[in-house]
Structure 1
Amino acid sequence: MRIGKVAELSGLSSRTIDYYTQIGLLEVQRSSSNYRLYPEDVLETLKRIKILKQQRMSMEEIKEVLQSDVSVDIEPIICDVQDEINCLQKKLSLLEEKLKNVPPEEKLKVYKRIEPKMTAIMTLLALL
């Protein structure tokens, strides 16, 4: 597939695709007339790059992921988990703020209620 077609189908500019190629995220071959030809799976790769960019990964980190054996199927799940972790961090900050002026024995009751779930979350974070 030529770069113009890839740009059209992916919604990205030719310049972005060219940049991804230059930094080694995409493989390209040259035709006899020197056109850049991309393999059919380039659109899937571009979707993966988009997901990884949404996770605020650097281009170097994205390159490492693309070169690893990590299954494409788990990337959306990882993205969801990271979104949940961010949400939990916000909620924990809010809880800490609300507990500032609460007596210690009341804080202990709250912490005992959330401790089992926090342990599970910490285990998950250790896996990541």
Structure 2
Amino acid sequence: MRIGKALLRIGQVAELSGLSSRTIDYYTQHGLLEYERSSSNYRLYPESVLQTLERIKLLKKQRMSIAEIKEAIQTDNTIEPIIVEVQDEITCLQQKLTTLEEQMKDAPREEKKLIYQKLESKLTDVMKLLTLM
């Protein structure tokens, strides 16, 4: 057992992370979380597991499989939070474009043309970004 490092039991990890003990157990069984055994055979998790769980939550939002999440965690990719942020922005833009299309349904043709011209360069930039992903 490490001296000077706070170790948490599964119930504490569950409470602090907002996840169920069952979910934490599942992630542990799949090798996503590190732990050590106490003298009475309890699993004890380092505090850093809370950061790992936050990362898993983000990756699950991206609909990644457990295998993909495990690989991402092992490679310690620091770009993932940025990707999640970009994906959230794209979703937001999609919703706004849908709303705009609905509002423009009955607009005169010339008004539609002006709006599309205003958006064209920005949409081109977004498409360039998507091709990088």
TM-score (norm 1): 0.76
Aligned length, in residue pairs: 126
For 1:28 and 1:85, the matched residues in 2 are separated by 37
2:95 matched to 1:95? Answer: no
Matched, 1:24 2:40: no
Distance 1:92 1:9 in 2: 38
Q: 1:101 to 1:23 in 2, by over 3 A?
A: same
Q: Which amino acid aligns with 2:118?
A: R
Measured in 2, the distance between the counterparts of 1:97 and 1:5 equals 48
Deviations 1:29-59 (A, max 9, x none): 3344322132331111012122333444443
Structure 1 residue 104: deviation in Å?
4.4
Shift, 1:86, TM fit: 0.8
- Closer, same or farther in 2 for the Cα pair 1:119/1:47, shift >3 Å? same
User: RMSD of aligned C-alpha atoms?
Assistant: 2.5
Identical counterparts, % of pairs: 67
**Structure 1 unmatched runs, 5+:** none
Q: In 2, distance between residues paired with 1:24 and 1:45?
A: 12
Distance in 2 (alpha carbons) for counterparts of 1:69 and 1:10: 20
For the structure 1 residues 5 and 106, does the alpha-carbon distance in structure 2 shift closer, same or farther, using more than 3 Å as the test?
closer
Given the superposition, is the C-alpha separation of residues 10 and 101 from structure 1 closer, same or farther in structure 2, using an over 3 Å criterion?
A: closer
Q: Does 1:45 align with 2:52?
A: yes
Pick from 106, 110, 113 the counterpart of residue 108 of structure 1. Answer: 113
- TM normalised by structure 2 equals 0.74
Q: Which runs of 5+ in 2 are unaligned?
A: 1-6
**Which letter does structure 1 place at the counterpart of 2:68?**
E
